[in-house]
Amino acid sequence: MSLGFFGDFILNIWNYSEQSFLVDAVEMERTDVCMIGHERKNYLQIVVTPHTVGTIDLSVPIMRLLTHTY
């Protein structure tokens, strides 16, 4: 399935430490006009090694959250 949004929403996680660390969640929330959250999804688990950048393309999860397709 191609939505045509790949690369539009990128998350870069920089790790300048001497140890790897686990990013256990990137929670995204859909809110209504009054900013009341009514839909929350967790899309990620990634280990970022020392002195590197972990890059995650969030385009598809964001589009699924916005269009209610899972």
Helix boundaries (H) for the chain: 59-67
Q: How many CA atoms lie within 13 A of 53 on its CB side?
A: 6
Inside any domain, residue 63:
yes
Domain with 33, as residue range(s), is 10-67
Inside any domain, residue 1:
no
> How do residues 25-42 score in pLDDT, each as one tens digit?
777 777 777 766 666 666
The tally of domains found in the chain comes to: 1
Per-residue CA distances from 35 to 22, 54, 55, 56, 65 (Å): 29, 30, 28, 26, 15
Looking at residue 51, what is its pLDDT? Answer: 93
Beta bridge partners of 15: 52
Inside any domain, residue 4:
no
Looking at residue 65, what is its pLDDT? Answer: 76
* CA distance from start to end of the chain: 12
Percentage of the chain exceeding pLDDT 90: 16
